[in-house]
């Protein structure tokens, strides 16, 4: 019986080392698991009851046009106050159409008649805000959906 106790006393430091090494290894393994996150890359924009998948879009562009008459349509990209007021002086009102293009898939954002610079400016601010929100969605790997108003 004394020999048996002596045998266990000699093995005890080894078993403590084995338990300590196993514990350290387990802690390191579990610590590594917490930082690994997999995010789904399906990005969607919801607007006016329609869902647009933009996750695979290679090019997203904004288009703003004005229909001046039955046959004349102009691009409003870069149009300033002076140009818009010149169109309004000549045509009384213009039909403005603002849309986003996701690789050929168009999302009409606003389309209405404009009869003053102030109304056009409000439409333009809203359109630019929506564009910034879409850009933010694409840059945020955790956010998957944007609901535009």
Same structural domain, 84 and 121:
yes
Provide φ and ψ at 34, rounded to 5°: -70, -30
Residues 6+ apart with CB under 8 A from 41: 55, 141
Same structural domain, 61 and 82:
yes
Same structural domain, 72 and 90:
yes
Q: Is the pLDDT of residue 110 over 80?
A: yes
Per-residue confidence band for 23, with pLDDT thresholds at 50, 70 and 90 = confident
What pLDDT does 62 receive? Answer: 93
Residues 6+ apart with CB under 8 A from 98: 62, 63, 64, 108, 109, 110, 111, 123, 124, 127
Same structural domain, 87 and 131:
yes
Same structural domain, 127 and 98:
yes
Same structural domain, 102 and 139:
yes
Same structural domain, 23 and 63:
no
| Residues above pLDDT 90, as percent of the chain | 40
Q: What is the DSSP letter of 47?
A: E
Same structural domain, 32 and 52:
no
**Residue 20 lies in domain:** 1-36
**pLDDT tens for each residue of 28-45:** 666 655 555 655 678 889
Same structural domain, 51 and 111:
yes
Same structural domain, 27 and 52:
no
Which residue would you say has higher pLDDT here, 74 or 71? Answer: 74
What pLDDT does 92 receive? Answer: 87
Domain count, the chain: 2
Per-residue confidence band for 21, with pLDDT thresholds at 50, 70 and 90 = confident
Per-residue confidence band for 2, with pLDDT thresholds at 50, 70 and 90 = very low
């Amino acid at each position: 019986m004394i020999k048996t106790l002596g045998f266990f006393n000699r093995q005890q430091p080894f078993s403590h080392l084995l338990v300590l090494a196993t514990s350290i290894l387990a802690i390191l393994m579990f610590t590594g698991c917490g930082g690994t996150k997999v995010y789904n890359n399906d990005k969607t924009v919801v607007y006016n009851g329609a869902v647009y998948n933009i996750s695979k879009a290679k090019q997203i562009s904004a288009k703003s046009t004005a229909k001046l008459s039955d046959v004349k349509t102009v691009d409003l990209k870069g149009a300033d106050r002076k140009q818009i007021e010149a169109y309004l002086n000549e045509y009384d009102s213009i039909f403005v159409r603002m849309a986003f293009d996701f690789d050929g898939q168009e999302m009409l954002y606003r389309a209405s008649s404009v009869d003053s610079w102030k109304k056009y400016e409000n439409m333009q601010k809203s359109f630019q805000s929506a564009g910034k929100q879409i850009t933010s969605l694409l840059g945020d790997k955790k956010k998957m959906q944007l609901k535009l108003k």
